[in-house]
Every structure is written in C-alpha cells, then in structure tokens.
Amino acid sequence: MKYWMQAPSECIQGSGGKMEQSEIKKICLRCMRVSDDPEVCPFCGREKRGQQTWSKALAPGTILNNKILIGNILGKGGYGITYIGYDMLLEYRVAVKEFFPDEMVDRSEDGSSVLVLDAVNKDEYDKETKAYLREARILAEFSKFPGIVAVKDFFYQNNTAYLIMEYLESGNLRKYIDSHGGWLPVDEALEKMEPVIAILGRVHQSGLIHRDISPDNIMLDEDGSIKLIDFGGSRKLGFANQQVFLGKWGFAPLEQMLSKLSEQGPWTDIYGICATLYCMMTGDIPQSSFERNEKDELINIADYTIQIDKKVAAAIMKGLSMKPEDRQQSVEELYHDLYGIYPDEKNVQAQEKIGEQHILKDRNNRIWFGDYPMNEITGAQVTSDLIYAEYDKDDTAVIDGEKYLRMPIVRETVAEKESLLTMMRGSRTETEITGYRYFKFNMLSWRIVAERGDRITLESEYIIDYKPFDQEKYLKMNDREIVRVKSGIYWEKSKIREWLNSVFVRRAFSEADRAKLQVTKVSTPVSALSDRVTYDKVYLPSIEEIRHGFDVDISIARGSKVNNDLDMAPCSQYVAALMGGSIGHSSYGLRSRGHIDEGDSYKCAENYEGHALVDNYLSEWFLNKSVGIRPVICVNAEDIHEMT
C-alpha cells in the first residue's frame, strides 16, 4: 500500500475566494473533513494523508477538473472505481465514480491517464464511454427523486469519464441491517425500500436496467432514507466475444448469472429487489439462483418466525421465481403486490390526505382554513427527501402527506458586453439559481371582519406573501421612470388580482376547498363618488373597508364613523425570507389606487401609486415596489365547524 499527500501547484478559486495550498492540506484525504491538525484527523481519528489501496486507482490528492480533490477508494467493481472526493469550489464532500472497466483498460505510468488494452477494440471502448455518459444524463434526470443518489457533475478527463455524486456517509444497507440485530421488522423494510421501488419503475421506462440491486448497493442518508447507487451493471462490459457477469451472489437471477442479456429486463431487477427484501426481513442471504437451478432449497419467507402479511410474502416469493416469466413483469406490478396500490396512486392518496378540510373555528373566534408556506425548514430537517422531491410548476411538493414549497436563492450576474450597442446601453444582469430554501405549509388563520346573514368575511391574520401591485416590467424601471408613468393600472387590471385568484388560490386551497370560497362583489373607488366593480373570490382590503367595514355599501358608509385603528399584522417566516428581513409587524398593500393628500384623504385616479399600511400609517404603494399581501375571502357560515 502507498500513502500520499499531494497538493496542487496552483490555487483553486472557491466560493469564498482562492483555496491556497495551506488550506488544501487541512483536508483529510480519508474522510474529507477540514481541520487545523497537521497529521491526525480529529473527525475520523486516522492519519490525514491518503492511502492507495489499489495500484490501478488514482493516487489520493489527485485533482480532477481543477476542482475535485480525490481521496481514498470507497469501492470498486468490474466497471469502475468510486472515491471519496471534495469539491474545492463549492466546499463539500462528494463521491467520484471513475469509468474504469478493469478488463478493458489499465492505468498509465503517469498514474492518471487510462490506457485501452491492446486486445480491446478502441471503438468499442469509446462506445462504452459514450454509453456511460448517456446513462449519467438519465440518472441526473432521476436524481431529483427520493431513492436515487443525486448526480452533481459529469466530465471527461484522463481518457475516461467521471461522475460526481452526493456523498452518503451513513454506510450501506447491509451495514445498517447488521447494526440492528441482523434483520429488520417487515414494516420497516417495506417503508425503507418504497422510494427505491417507486423510482425504479421510471428508470426502467427510460431503458435502463440496474442489474446489481443488493444491500451493498443501497446507501443510507443521514436522515435514515435509502438511495440506490451503482448503475454500472446497466451496461454490457467486456471484450466483443466475452460477457462479464455483474451482480451479487444470492441477489442475481439465473439469466444474469449466465449472462443471457436477451432474457434480461425489469424482471431481472425485480429479483434483486425481492432478494434484498428477503435479506432485510430474515437476516439471511437467499440461496443463489445458480445453486437453486441444481437443487432449489430456498426457504419460503412465510415459513420464518416473523410477522409478515401473506400477500407480502407471496409477492416476495413470486419475485424470486427462477423463471423470468413467473415473476412480476414490471416494478409497478411488484409495487402493487407489496403496497396494495400502484406508484401513481400514491401521490393521489397524499393529495387526498391534505385535500378537503373543514373550516374550523377555535375558542378565540379565530378561523382556520387553507394552507400556505409559513415556517422555514432548516438544519437537519432539510433531508434528501425534501431536496429531491418532485416539485410542480409552483415549486410545491407533497412528502408523506405534508406539503412544502421551495424558494430559489437567486444571484444576479452581469453579462459580458457583446457589442458597442450593449456597451452604450450598459451591462445587463442575468439571474442564476444557486440553491433553495424550504418552507412547510401550515394552516392559515383568519379573523372574522364581517358577518351578514350566512356570509362570513375573513381577513388573514398574517401577511402571507410579498408581491408588487402589477406587471414585472415596472420592477425593471427606476424611480425616475416610474414617476413618468402618467396612467397606472386599476385593481381590475392588476397582476396582483390575477395572482390572488389563480396562483394563491391553487396553492392555498384544495379543489374541494376552492368550492367553499364565495364570490364577492368588490367595489374599488376610482373617484370621490364612483367605484369600479369586480367579482373576486380573493381580494385585498381597501382603505375604505378598513375604516368603514367590510361587506357593506361603501356609498352609505362614507361619512360614517371612521375606524382609526389601521390594524397592522405580523408576517410569516416565508414572507420574512422574501423581504430579506426579520419577522415582525410589517406593511401590507391595499387595492385602492390614487394620490394621497393631507389628512390621509386621497383623490382616486388611475395613477402610478397606490395605498399601503406602513407602521400604522397610510402610505404609497408604488408599482415597482413589493409589499406584504394580506388577502380577504368570504365563506358560508354553514361550512364552519367548531374545533373539538
């Protein structure tokens, strides 16, 4: 064995500046954690210098693509080598898979380049390398889902290809089983394997077969969730006249052990899944299919002294059938046999779970109805399930019956000046998403602001979002350009009205709940004596309504007693994140448009400024400025239920 501590001759430009050689030397090449200790790592307790455990592997300390620091080997197989690595630009640990089909290549004397063996056709190797890239792209597409390891990057170097993936440090499923008494309860085994089984069906539809499913190739994340790795068996490797067996003894079906590629398909992976479930639930590795072909002595899982449903036991034994045609023919069929539903029905059930809700009233006369992103998820709660969930066009996802929203973290960059014209106009800025923040949906609380017969008018107790009044084009104008706008936009034509009655309603209420929202005749003053009327399910309050009351005839209410309490409201953590500030009482916008005169009176006009409540005072809401959004809705009293 060889020991290495190799540093680059130049600096690496990282997120916090240049990473100097002295900083790189602080990285332990065994666990890739950073410390000031010069020799022994305080995290793993071993020498920080790397150890080369295979002569054909890259030396620890090697740098790839001018940013990936290579450490010790994590594992190797017939198709490649996996190393622990460190991304010195983004400064986090990764797993690095090097395409290295051992029977086709060797390492050159420089210790880096990969040489194709003389007996191997160069075109065949290039074909396999390109196939590796195609499969990497497919895996990158599926890595956003739970159950598949996340792909971070891919590049060519040293006459081969490298796949950069998330690093999972909690070990593999086999280690987990051993540390929990040698076997797992049936319910836990089914729960842990569910994400892997669900996503594998989609992988099969893309044309990929894993061919190496076993507890060794299923890794655990810090939150206990599992992810499938090592899709190397999805290719045929070897010489033109030779087939190479890829798989684990006891977990591979006979058609795979005999390298009969024409007989392999989704049912091949189904055997591996059921063998893995068998091992998880019993603690025993199934008898190998090669031995079973001679004399089948596999013990039926139902004969073990474990509590297992007969249907589940039958599904696992069917998946372990020797003949491919006797197994489930698709992962969707296996999923249904194990869980009683098809994978696509799982999301429908989750949506139904958070679907129709009662409108509830508590002892304080507060109404609870709908859901909206409120509280931020941070720290250890930001699990892989949350990060790689399937988000819709509104950036929302349902995980285990709970709903979440992800908010992009955007960084503005200045584009290069491409011509004299662009130089004259100045630099244009572009946006780049550098990450996400995550927020959980919580029930919305409302206060009753008006009751007229069965009609109950509700105003949100919280400022729930942060938006401009109108079109995004105003966000691109400076204040001087905004002032030149001679005519603005009324409530009925505004983008905020459109957003409230489309995106907000869809995000906050299920289809069944949306039916409970009553249409309200909304009168917005446009002059001292006239209003414009719209019909909305969701709207913003006006200064008239705050002062004289909701759901009343404003023409009659004018001149009546004025409510001087302008009613400030707190904002949620989600709004605080949008504002870039702290949580507290903040301003929110009103739908009234017009210029404010002395004494808070105003002349209604289609102008560029509107109204907002700021620190309990009436102020302007400019078209290019976002303010808090505090919606108003109306429901039927018969739909409200007392909390028990």
Task: Extract the tokens encoding 96.
Answer: 């690095």
Cβ neighbour number for residue 283 with a 10 Å cutoff? 16
| Whether 268 contacts 255, CB under 8 Å | yes
Sole residue written with tokens 């004018």: 558
- Which range, 355-364, 470-479, 590-599, is most confident? 355-364
Domain ranges (residues) in the chain: 2-166, 173-346, 358-367+445-640
Task: Extract the tokens encoding 66.
Answer: 């001018």
3 state DSSP class of 478: coil
Cβ neighbour number for residue 16 with a 10 Å cutoff? 8
Q: pLDDT, tens digit, for every residue of 379-438?
A: 888 888 888 888 887 788 888 888 999 998 877 655 444 443 444 344 445 567 888 999
Helices 343-353, 331-339: inter-axial angle, 10-degree rounding: 50
Q: Can you spell out the DSSP letters for 132-181?
A: HHHHHHHHHHHTTSTTBPPEEEEEEETTEEEEEEE---S-BHHHHHHHTT
Q: pLDDT, tens digit, for every residue of 539-568?
A: 998 877 887 788 666 555 555 555 555 567
Amino acid identity of 265? G
Q: pLDDT, tens digit, for every residue of 244-298?
A: 445 678 999 998 888 777 788 899 999 999 999 999 999 999 999 999 999 999 9
Sole residue written with tokens 């100097």: 20
Q: How far apart are CA 284 and CA 278, in angstroms?
A: 7
- Claim: this prediction has a pTM higher than 0.85: no
Superfamily of domain 2-166: Phosphorylase Kinase; domain 1 (3.30.200.20)
Mean pLDDT of 581-585: 55
For a pLDDT cut of 90, what percent of the chain falls above it?
Answer: 36
Half-sphere exposure (Cβ direction) of 550: Cα atoms closer than 13 Å: 21
- Which range, 138-142, 326-330, 617-621, is most confident? 326-330
Helices 331-339, 186-205: inter-axial angle, 10-degree rounding: 160
CA-based torsion, 577, 578, 582, 587: positive or negative = negative
Query: What fold, for 173-346?
Result: Transferase(Phosphotransferase); domain 1 (1.10.510)
Phi and psi at 9, nearest 5°, equal: -85, -5
With a cut of 60, say whether residue 8 has pLDDT above it.
no
